[in-house]
Chain A
Amino acid sequence: MLEIKCPWCGPRAQTEFSYAGDATLTRPSLDTATETEWYEHVYLRGNPRGPHDELWHHAAGCRRFVKVRRDVTTHEIIATAGPHEHLGGGGK
């Protein structure tokens, strides 16, 4: 089981969280994005090896979203932050 450090609650068990998707996505512009851009935003994901930024929801705790940089091969959690904060360099 992972231990995820919630920026508000401190270290908590993974079971208190639910995975909430890729944190690197940027929503296309409602006014100008093409159908292809929307298709890519909604359906297409990279599958990078190594550190990856993802969102987790502290569903059984403070109910906040948390940005987590996790190495998807080792499960090491490198950094966590609030959903609008930057995790620093190194991730993708």
Chain B
Amino acid sequence: MADTSPMQSALNGIAQPGDFGADQPAGPGVTITERQGLQILHVAGDIRDAEFPSQVRHAIGLPLPMSAGETRASQGTRVLWLGPDRWLVATEDALPALSDAAAVNDVGQGRLVLRLTGPRVRDILAKGCPLDLHASAFPTGHCAESLIGHIGVTIDCTADETFDLYVNRSYAAFFWEWLTRAAMEYGYRVLPAG
């Protein structure tokens, strides 16, 4: 199924590790790490079909979240609600084998995944996103598909000040430019991809 050979980062030659932007005595406003090696599946199916949710649950070990913006997580695996019939499965483990009860697409090689963590992460994303990103409206464990800097991004709040962003790979250079400019005033740190 998936080609598991290491893939070149979409940010090769674009992102350099280091500290950039405004110098903050308390540390950078945000720390950015590219998450590599994730297996990402787009799963679509009809929840009225009794087989579908149970088979997916069996394969990935997590129930499909059924309400808007809900996520499910276990060690190394996250399942994101994208729509009433679509989910995103992102896992550090081997790809789960999903039966033909679901329409499954391996989209891992088409996404750039960035982990943003830091005290100003919500302020930075809010510069280009129409969603209410306040912790009361977008708490840990909440996800959404929306726009950041005019492009479609899947946003997953994995911890209090930590967001995973799934960006279409072809937008990587543009999104990096947008993100780093938005983060400039708060100072940002880029860690080596991991």
Which residue from A10, A13, A64 sits with its C-beta under 8 Å from B130? Answer: A13
* CB atoms of A9 and B69 under 8 A apart: yes
Q: Is A41's CB within 8 Å of the partner chain B?
A: no
Which residue from B83, B130, B131 sits with its C-beta under 8 Å from A62? Answer: B83
Taking A10-B68, A15-B130, A16-B130 as contacts, is the C-beta distance between A61 and B84 under 8 angstroms? no
Specify the chain B residue showing the minimal Cβ separation from A63.
B83
Chain A residues, Cβ within 8 Å of B86: 62-63
Q: Is B89's CB within 8 Å of the partner chain A?
A: no
Specify the chain B residue showing the minimal Cβ separation from A13.
B130
Chain A residues, Cβ within 8 Å of B131: 12-13
Specify the chain A residue showing the minimal Cβ separation from B67.
A8
Q: Is A33's CB within 8 Å of the partner chain B?
A: no
Chain A residues, Cβ within 8 Å of B82: 62-63
User: Per-residue CB proximity of A44-63 to B under 8 Å, as 1/0?
Assistant: 00000000000000011111
Q: Is B185's CB within 8 Å of the partner chain A?
A: no
Chain A residues, Cβ within 8 Å of B152: 59-60
Which 5 A-B pairs have CB atoms at the shortest separation, nearest pair first? A62-B83, A13-B130, A60-B152, A60-B147, A8-B84
User: Taking beta carbons and an 8 Å cutoff, which residues of B are in contact with A?
Assistant: 68-69, 82-84, 86, 130-131, 144-147, 150, 152
Give 13 pairs: A residue, B residue, CB < 8 Å, sorted on A: A8-B84, A9-B69, A10-B68, A15-B147, A15-B150, A16-B130, A60-B152, A62-B68, A62-B86, A62-B145, A63-B82, A63-B86, A64-B84
